[in-house]
């Protein structure tokens, strides 16, 4: 019985590793997008809801070009989406996966959004 259990556990581990390996590149790219402090802060703010670029600038105390550069990276990675209303561009989370990970990071590191 122990041998059968050990074999089953080893096969399950191989299956799990195989699944992880097939998704590792995507997971790595996703985590790279979160690996910049300003991008992580932007995503944390957007977990609360849609914000304009101007609002993000003020909340982060950063200049518009810096905020726009980070938003562009997040947009390319599909983590945020943009909506234009007149001359104002609003951003919101583009992925529920981003919300899940950002909220987990907040819980682990004790940050309040």
Look up the pTM and report it: 0.76
Choice between 49 and 112, residue whose per-residue pLDDT is larger:
49
The mean pLDDT value of the chain amounts to 85
Please state, in angstroms and as integers, the Cα–Cα distance from residue 63 to each residue in 54, 86, 112, following that order: 9, 21, 23
pLDDT digits (tens, 9 = 90+) for 82-108: 999 999 999 999 988 889 988 998 888
Element (H or E) spanning 62, and its range? none
Residue 59 token pair: 């909340």
Instruction: Note the pLDDT of residue 113.
Output: 47
How far apart CA 76 and CA 72 sit, in angstroms, is 6
Residue 57 token pair: 């600038």
Instruction: Note the pLDDT of residue 2.
Output: 63
pLDDT over 90 percentage in the chain: 52
Instruction: Note the pLDDT of residue 13.
Output: 58
Q: Which residues lie closer than 8 Å to 82 by C-beta, 6 or more apart? A: 71, 75, 89, 90, 91
């Amino acid at each position: 019985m122990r041998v059968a259990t050990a074999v089953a556990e080893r096969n399950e581990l191989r299956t799990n590793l195989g699944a992880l390996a097939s998704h590792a590149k995507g997971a790595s790219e996703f985590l790279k997008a979160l690996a910049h402090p300003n991008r992580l802060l932007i995503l944390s703010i957007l977990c609360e809801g849609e914000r304009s670029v101007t609002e993000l600038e003020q909340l982060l105390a950063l200049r518009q070009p810096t905020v726009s550069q980070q938003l562009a990276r997040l947009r390319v990675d599909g983590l945020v989406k943009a909506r234009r209303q007149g001359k104002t561009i609003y951003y919101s989370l583009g992925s529920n996966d981003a919300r899940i990970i950002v909220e987990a990071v907040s819980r682990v590191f004790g940050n309040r959004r």
